[in-house]
Amino acid sequence: MSDNGPYRILCVCLGNICRSPTAEVVLRHIVEASKLNIMVDSAGTSNYHIGEAPDERSQRYAQKRGYELSSLCGRQLITRDFIKFDLILAMDAQNLEQINRLKKVAEAEFGINALKAKIAMMTAHDQSQQNVAIADPYYGEGRGFEHVLDQCESASHAWVNYFQKHHIG
């Protein structure tokens, strides 16, 4: 847990325009509804969409469920995130590998004792989809974006149950 302020979570996918911003707003919504002191953000492992708003399709399908993504802005995962965040959640195995690679760079840069972020899959505690990738909807249409929302909602509820059980936030 953070020494000062809320427990901090970072949701990470490849470009930070589809899955991770969706995971961010869904997890934030469920955390807030549960009255937990947890801050949620998102980033991408690539630099493809830095400064861009989330994909229009992600925004549209999220809005249908009452989630607002329009204020978010794409950014890339950086070494300092391993110091700033308590938990980094990967959307799939490839991003998990990239996160772990960057963690090694952060260890060399700051020292292993400076890093506090634990790393896990977004679906790590979700019994209905344990350690399954949040599907990348980018090259598809509506059904894929709906599926991402379903997965993120289910995984977020599982994380909130975990946080409550372990008195986090």
Residue 3 pLDDT grade (very low, low, confident, very high; cuts 50, 70, 90): low
125 closest CA partner among 90, 79, 156: 156
Per-residue pLDDT for 57 more than 70?
Answer: yes
Per-residue pLDDT for 2 more than 80?
Answer: no
What is the secondary structure of 72-106 as a DSSP string?
----B--TTHHHH-SEEEESSHHHHHHHHHHHHHH
pLDDT score recorded for residue 4: 63
CA quadruple 91, 93, 95, 99: dihedral, nearest 10: 110
Contact 67, 89 (CB under 8 A): no
User: What would the pLDDT profile of 110-139 be if each residue is shown by its tens digit?
Assistant: 999 999 999 999 999 999 999 999 999 998
Provide the domain count of the chain. Answer: 1
64 closest CA partner among 150, 160, 133: 150
For position 114, which CATH number holds? 3.40.50.2300
27 closest CA partner among 76, 77, 85: 85
Domain residues for the domain of 63 are 7-165
Per-residue pLDDT for 1 more than 60?
Answer: no
Report the distance separating Cα 19 and Cα 104, nearest Å: 24
Report the distance separating Cα 22 and Cα 152, nearest Å: 7
User: What would the pLDDT profile of 62-78 be if each residue is shown by its tens digit?
Assistant: 999 999 999 999 999 99
Angle of helix 19-33 relative to helix 142-165, nearest 10 degrees, comes to 40
Indicate whether 2 belongs to any domain. Answer: no
Q: Which residues are catalytic?
A: 13, 19, 136
- How large a percentage of the chain has pLDDT more than 70? 98
Phi and psi at 44, nearest 5°, equal -120, 155
pLDDT score recorded for residue 5: 85
Indicate whether 1 belongs to any domain. Answer: no
User: What would the pLDDT profile of 9-53 be if each residue is shown by its tens digit?
Assistant: 999 999 999 999 999 999 999 999 999 999 999 999 999 999 999
Per-residue pLDDT for 7 more than 80?
Answer: yes
Phi and psi at 142, nearest 5°, equal -45, -50
DSSP state of 135: P
Q: Higher confidence at residue 139 or residue 86?
A: 86
The model carries a pTM of 0.95
